[in-house]
Amino acid sequence: MAMPAHPPDTVSAYLAQLRRALKGAPAGLISDALADCEDHLNNEISQNPELSETQILASVVETYGTPEEIAEEYRDMESTISTPFPKAEPADERRFGFFNVVSDPRTYGALLYMLLSLATGIFYFTWVVTGLSLTIGFAVLIIGIPFALLFIASVRVLSYVEGRIVEALLGVRMPRRPPAEPSTDQGLWTKIKEAFSDVRTWSSLFYMLLMLPLGVTYFVMGVVGLALSLGVVGGSIYSLITGEAHIQIQDAPYLEHMLHTAPGLIVFALAGILLFFVVLHVARAVGWVHGKIAEGLLVRL
């Protein structure tokens, strides 16, 4: 690959070119690539204190590769790594259409995420509210600043864990590198400035607060949808077997009459099955939307 017209002479310039070269790639991949390269470049600088940053970058470009070459390597490496949810074949999508959702593993991952989101949403919300309250309360004490830094570090760890859950269940590429440890040679005020100036610190906090209403909504949608669809199917079939109506509908005489006839019960059973597929489609849509929310608020670029 040809050398870029303006080879980077600083770490920030190298990372900026790498980010541009990875444009269009998943945000999680870009985040990992930037973090890997930044660690490598900073390590080279620390091991060669007698050389200027420009000299080190020139050597790195020659041995490690240009940002464009590194971007291509990351894309190739990503394509060889198996994803939790392989992309469905277009032919299968056309063949099964609406009912193809039942064979899509992303559907069940999203449905499981919806059912788990109530517990995770309550935990994240409680953690953030408690942490912020204690941080504000300790602000006037000598332990206020260390506690605030510790709380922010815990938020970053929880964001990483949530990202792994999102990738495992929703199939969205999230960062696979654990949060980087702060450099020991950084001063306290530098650490404080970096912690509070990082926009992802605040977006991660917002995400965790947002997870409570989202978690409640997802959980209710999942439980009510599954209970209603499976209940209608099971009740209709059981009524057909026993010859007695086990489903009651108030203030709807026509539907109530259908529940006492075999054709009506068959219609209700088919409606319940159709509703089950609708619930699966809703779960897959929720998974896609929430994946975008997580990618936008949790991934650091």
% of the chain surpassing 70 pLDDT: 84
Contacts within 8 Å (CB) and 24+ apart, 42-50: 42/11, 45/11
Q: How large is the average pLDDT for residues 202-229?
A: 95
29 close to 37: Cβ distance less than 8 angstroms: no
Average pLDDT, the chain: 84
- pLDDT score of 3: 46
Q: Over range 50-78, report the average pLDDT.
A: 86
pLDDT at 291: 95
Report the predicted TM-score, pTM, of the whole model to 2 decimal places. 0.83
Give the tokens for residue 120: 């995770």
The secondary structure of 79-120 as a DSSP string is HHSPPSSPPPPHHHHHHHGGGGGGG-HHHHHHHHHHHHHHHH
Res. 64 pLDDT band, cuts 50 70 90: confident
The larger pLDDT score, comparing residue 239 to residue 161, is at 161
Q: What is the pLDDT of residues 129-161, one digit of tens each?
A: 999 999 999 888 888 888 988 999 999 999 999
Top pLDDT among 162 and 38 is at 162
- The pair phi, psi for residue 118, each rounded to 5°, is -65, -45
Q: How confident is the model at residue 256 (pLDDT cuts 50, 70, 90)?
A: low
- 251 — phi, psi (to 5°)? 60, 30
Instruction: State yes or no: pLDDT of 56 exceeds 80.
Output: yes
**What pLDDT, on the 0 to 100 scale, is given for residue 80?**
79
Check pLDDT > 70 for residue 123.
yes
Among 83, 71, 64, 69, smallest CA distance to 20 is for 71
Q: Which residue has the higher pLDDT, 238 or 190?
A: 238
Torsion of CA 156, 157, 162, 166, to 10 degrees: 90
Give the separation between CA 21 and CA 60, rounded to whole angstroms: 17
Give the number of other Cβ atoms within 10 Å of residue 168's Cβ.
Answer: 15
Domain spans of the chain, in order of start: 11-80, 87-301
In this prediction, residue 2 carries a pLDDT of: 45
Express each pLDDT in 168-209 by its tens digit: 999 999 998 887 655 555 566 676 777 777 888 899 999 999
pLDDT tens track for 70-97: 999 998 888 877 566 665 555 555 555 7
